[in-house]
Amino acid sequence: MLAIKQVATVAILGLSFSLLSTESVYAISFNFTKIADTSTPIPGSTATFTEFQAPSISGNNVAFLGRGSGFQEGIYISLENELDKVADNSTSIPGSSDSFFFNFSDPSISGSNVAFSGTVDGGSRTGIYLSANRALKVVADFNTPIPNGNGNFTSFNPPDLSGDSVAFLGSDGEGRSGIYIDDGTQLTTIADFNTPIPGGTGNFTGFLSRGLSESGVAFLGVDRNFQSGIYTNIGGSLAVVADRNTLDPASAANFTDFFTAPALSGDNVAFGGISVGYDGAGIYTKVGSQLNVVATNSLDRGVTEFINFLSIPSISGSNTAFLTGFGSAIYTDVGGSFARLIGRNDTLNGKTLASVDFSSNSNGLSGDSLAFLARFSDGSQGIFRADLSQPPQPEPVPEPTTVLGLLLVGVLGATKASRR
């Protein structure tokens, strides 16, 4: 196993917002720790990593997909600051001695457990797998009957993990999909094509992935007219988080669409939505019964990087984090302030960033820590963890009259100098 060391402490300025209005400025400090980069030896191999996918984080533990030269690929974990292998191309499928993993999806981590989807036999078969206590087991594969369905699963989306429970989107051979959960004892259906849409008409006809917490599952579902909504099964029954009948608090118009699968932390949900007549996209949370605006691509906030929200937002407690602007930056409100954590043209580990990437499965944020992929201008890459080291502290901001007085002094001084 490989030891991991902290590489930098960076102070950034955060802005505290009330909807779209700036209220105050904060100083925030994050420690950045390198988990692995393209000079790091691959656990169980003599080669070094050549590239990565965006990581998943739980506490201080980080899981990620890493690649080496040729077709070398695997899932790796930083556990208590030691780097180790979960599974790679030399790992046999649980229950088989002659079938090996071919490639992998981005993993999801909870504690020291890791879930992922992997293909075998040259990519001809796919399954969902869980590593718990360093032992691999099959959650579902092409031999698994679909609960309340016809036949076996034939395809899967990457899973989400909370404790020992694994949630995933799976489909049959006729393209009928559903959201399913395995709690370690049984595999059950959350929603499928036989499930009535809460607050809607008819049954679900499609799904876009899911988020999972100890409280339940959140997912994006659509009807036969491709009208979408965000739903949860918290409390044991399906309920609407937001749909086309829900007012967007940023625009005072109803939502018209939802563009990411949701993230879930306890009962709190984060998602991406769009409304009519507004600038387009936004990131929202529902905490209790309150629907909140986290960020929109409106220039009213003066953040020009909000031209695109690329990743599924992450949520931990009531804090959120998300990727913007075609990989340009990661923003977060960890600690109660809203700040650009890191992004393009920033310096990290002594090198200039070309872009950053954030978890595609809603697991990029855990407590006061975030994990992300850094791509540098020299072509190298690395997996990093950012830990909040100093809670937000208000910075003194000059009163408007003071600022005006300083400007007048400057103008008068410049005028006198020009007359000499």
* C-alpha closest to that of 375 among 7, 47, 53: 53
The DSSP line for 189-223 is EEEETTSBPTTSSSB--EEEEEEEETTEEEEEEE-
Q: Which residues, including other chains, have CB under 8 Å from residue 153's CB and lie 6 or more apart? A: 140, 141, 142, 144, 146, 170, 171, 172
Q: What is the pLDDT of residue 87?
A: 96
Q: What is the pLDDT of residue 419?
A: 40
**Tens place of pLDDT for every residue, the chain, 420 residues?**
555 656 666 555 544 333 333 344 455 789 999 999 999 999 988 899 999 999 999 999 999 999 999 889 999 999 988 999 999 999 999 978 778 899 999 999 999 999 999 998 777 789 999 999 989 999 999 999 999 878 999 999 999 999 999 999 999 988 899 999 999 999 999 999 999 999 888 999 999 878 999 999 999 999 988 889 999 999 899 999 999 999 999 888 899 999 888 999 999 999 999 986 556 688 999 999 999 988 887 655 545 556 667 678 999 999 999 998 777 899 998 977 778 899 999 999 999 999 999 997 779 999 999 999 999 999 999 999 999 986 655 555 444 443 333 333 333 333 334 444
Location of structure tokens 């070309």: 354
Q: What is the pLDDT of residue 390?
A: 66
Q: What is the pLDDT of residue 352?
A: 98
For residues 147 and 140, the answer to whether their CB atoms sit within 8 Å is no
Q: What is the C-alpha to C-alpha distance for residues 133 and 66, in angstroms, rounded to an integer? A: 21
**How many domains are there within the chain?**
1
Please report, for the domain that includes residue 284, its CATH number: 2.130.10.150
For residues 272 and 259, the answer to whether their CB atoms sit within 8 Å is yes
Q: What's the whole-model pTM score?
A: 0.86
Q: What is the pLDDT of residue 209?
A: 77
Q: What is the pLDDT of residue 168?
A: 96
**Ramachandran region, residue 350 (left: φ > 0; alpha: ψ -120 to 50; beta: rest):** left
Tokens found for residue 312: 């599924």
Tokens found for residue 60: 């201080």
Please, what is the Cα angle at 399 between 395 and 404, to 5 degrees?
A: 130
* Burial classification of residue 24, based on how many CB atoms lie within 10 Å of its CB (0-12 exposed, 13-18 middle, 19 or more buried): middle
* C-alpha closest to that of 160 among 213, 105, 108, 220: 108
The H or E element containing residue 402 is: helix 400-419
For residues 37 and 382, the answer to whether their CB atoms sit within 8 Å is yes
Q: What is the pLDDT of residue 406?
A: 31
Location of structure tokens 């937002």: 313
Side chain identity at 200, as an amino acid letter?
Answer: G
Location of structure tokens 């986290």: 294
Q: What is the pLDDT of residue 57?
A: 98
The H or E element containing residue 56 is: strand 56-58
For residues 96 and 50, the answer to whether their CB atoms sit within 8 Å is no
Q: What is the C-alpha to C-alpha distance for residues 329 and 5, in angstroms, rounded to an integer? A: 24
Q: Which residues, including other chains, have CB under 8 Å from residue 266's CB and lie 6 or more apart? A: 213, 214, 215, 317
What range defines the domain where residue 74 resides? 2-419
